[in-house]
Chain A
């Protein structure tokens, strides 16, 4: 990437950024605290951000904690991911109406909403790029996804403090944001200092900086930000060697280890709901009571349900083991055959939000160590 100008933003300059987009018809989405978690929702101003909060994470564990500073982006990732805006959890795909004994189909997704995503992490950008490939890169594409995606202005934030369950350095998807953003922010906090270094990543991003008239950052200001980002890589508590993961998992479908690693699994599907790349969905066709208007509704689905693989006669994957195996092999192996990349970006959400703390990283290590090859 060519070297762009860097701009200096005081913390509350972000309000100018939000106003800039709101006045241009955008909805601004960003991190905010709800139900004792940091979630992504519409935000009005900086005051809605989780100022001074961080998240503590461990397998099956998530708590918010006060920080010693007033950082805006001092947390890692919560249970939400940006996929809920681009690939909504519930979406009506069409309406069909009976008219004179016949029926007609109407596309109901005609709205053209523009979104700003505030605070997108490197792993999350990778997840969005993965879903771009799934919904927009094949022979058939999802026009609803593509339309939403084309209307996103993406404000990324560099991670300087990876969380306990983060392993994006191992998946090659972070912690530094390198591409796929319109604006990249790095938050710098020292005893007496709090500012952002902003870098444009697109023409629209450049236009924003020019219009809002932020000053260029001084060299020492940039250096402090760079120092934080460079040091982040040394702060990871988790790592995993993904070499050969594709082959190891596909060669071990019948390894008895699967029974062990899935022993605790409740098949609740939490991991698939919080995963920023999981894309499986189901279709529900419904009618009104009079049978005159029908709808096709698409919903997020999970490979952990029995219905997921149902064909007449029963479910293909009826055991818990086989459903856990499907999920893990898909994430770290067959995804590569399907889309040319792995389905894991190292965000750690599936580990944090698993009610029994099943750990995909540790499980992969077990398979790599296992000498049983069938």
Chain B
């Protein structure tokens, strides 16, 4: 190691102190998933973020968790989060009501490269709650639809009851310029759609692999197999992007928890190109 004279360190705003936001609406999406719309308590504050970024959300006295932003990046007066109740903090968050306050730090992390390739086919592959961090990218793309060739959403949920944003998916389906395919792992009576994991939709999805950019989010195992399926079709590894999940305590690369080999998922990710992480993602317990 080379020892050099230390540089002068500058004190900046404390990134560990949350800003206070108020819940403007709460919507139950599925039995265990809800969406909160938050508004800064301080008047006139805009919340600007890029699709794919996340916030650290703080429930008073309970704790803080990283939650991706699921709303429209162009609606800067509010910020939207879709959360599944799986742990202490998210369960407490699920009990909050309209008007309650919540702490917000962010936005943090990398984003879906929505402008990387104009004129390309865009393939969005989502598994379960993985649709939430992709929704800002969908809003962004549909608003600039003319910049892309085909736009395709492949979405897999566990059961028909677990499908997120049902009403919105119907609206998307009704557009002529957005192809939406939904599948469920297990059908129920009355389900007339596809049954099977989301990767089964990839071989028959109508996109041009040579000219495609893909955004993938879901459980890690689903992202691994989705990437392999896309590569099998001929999509370049550099054009496949995934969003990783790891334990995070700070969101800003100072706590060490989210290390994934040489990268910090919180600040180098969560969105990575497949080529960036392919050497590690198939190894166990990295």
The smallest beta-carbon distance between B4 and chain A, in angstroms, is 7
CB-nearest residue of chain A relative to B86? A312
A322–B60 alpha-carbon span in the complex (Å)? 34
The smallest beta-carbon distance between A284 and chain B, in angstroms, is 8
The smallest beta-carbon distance between B280 and chain A, in angstroms, is 8
Chain A interface (Cβ < 8 Å from any Cβ of B)? 93-94, 96, 98, 102-105, 107, 122, 125-126, 128-130, 132, 134-144, 146-147, 149-150, 171-173, 178-180, 250, 253-254, 279-283, 285-287, 291, 294, 296, 298, 301, 303, 308-312, 316-319, 321-322, 325-326, 329-330, 333-334, 337-338, 341-342, 345
- What residues of B have a CB within 8 angstroms of the CB of A129 in the complex? 3-4, 6
The smallest beta-carbon distance between A290 and chain B, in angstroms, is 10
CB-nearest residue of chain B relative to A201? B5
- What residues of B have a CB within 8 angstroms of the CB of A279 in the complex? 254, 256
A128–B6 alpha-carbon span in the complex (Å)? 9
Interface string of B10-47 (1 = CB under 8 A from A): 11111111101000000000000000000001000000
- 13 new A-B contacts, CB < 8 A, other than A141-B11, A142-B254, A296-B64, are A93-B16, A104-B20, A107-B17, A139-B267, A141-B9, A146-B10, A150-B11, A254-B283, A280-B256, A283-B249, A287-B60, A294-B60, A296-B16
A291–B59 alpha-carbon span in the complex (Å)? 12
Interface of A is mostly: mixed
Tally inter-chain residue pairs, CB-CB below 8 A.
170
Any A CB within 8 A of the CB of B63 = yes
Are B285 and A322 within 8 A (Cβ)? yes
A191–B265 alpha-carbon span in the complex (Å)? 58
Interface of B is mostly: loop
The smallest beta-carbon distance between A58 and chain B, in angstroms, is 25
Are A285 and B3 within 8 A (Cβ)? no
A345–B3 alpha-carbon span in the complex (Å)? 11
Chain B residues with a Cβ closer than 8 Å to the other chain, count: 51
Residues 82-130 of B at the A interface (beta carbon under 8 Å): 86-87, 101, 103
- What residues of B have a CB within 8 angstroms of the CB of A149 in the complex? 9
Interface string of B242-269 (1 = CB under 8 A from A): 0001110110111111010111100100
A143–B17 alpha-carbon span in the complex (Å)? 11
A311–B65 alpha-carbon span in the complex (Å)? 11
